[in-house]
Amino acid sequence: MKTTALKKNNQILIPRVQIAQKFFERFFGLMGRKNINEQDTIVFPNCNSIHTFFMSEKIDVIFVSATGVVTNIFYSLKPWKLLLPQKKAVHCIEMASESSRVLGISEGDSLSCEGVF
């Protein structure tokens, strides 16, 4: 998978996030992974809904607009949940549970991920 940094206000939050571009990268995402940590963060371009079917752990899910503005955050989303399309969201970020709180990401924040938003 291609990797880049996730930034907030030009400050690097996570130096290496994965960008899921190919079918199977997008299909599997974090599915089946155990001990998910910051290094497992995945950005899904052009994705405004997700599911956590077959997940092993809770995750944080952040939806952002085309310009990277955070539109919705779902903290510690449990396995076997479905998030329907989110209004104003164009891209999605999956990361370890509670990581978005630790990193200080809030709705309305402007994030950047080179090549995506």
State the CB neighbour count (10 A cutoff) for residue 39.
13
Q: How far apart are CA 35 and CA 40, in angstroms?
A: 9
Name the pTM for this structure: 0.93
Predicted pLDDT at 104: 97
| Residue-range definition of the domain harbouring residue 66 | 2-113
Q: What is the pLDDT of residues 88-110, one digit of tens each?
A: 999 999 999 999 999 999 999 99
Provide the pLDDT confidence category of residue 39 given band limits of 50, 70 and 90: confident
What total number of domains does the chain contain? 1
CB hemisphere CA count around 52 (13 angstroms)? 22
Contact (Cβ atoms closer than 8 angstroms) between residue 86 and residue 49 = yes
Q: What is the pLDDT of residues 76-93, one digit of tens each?
A: 999 999 999 999 999 999
CATH, residue 81 = 2.60.120.1140
Predicted pLDDT at 1: 86
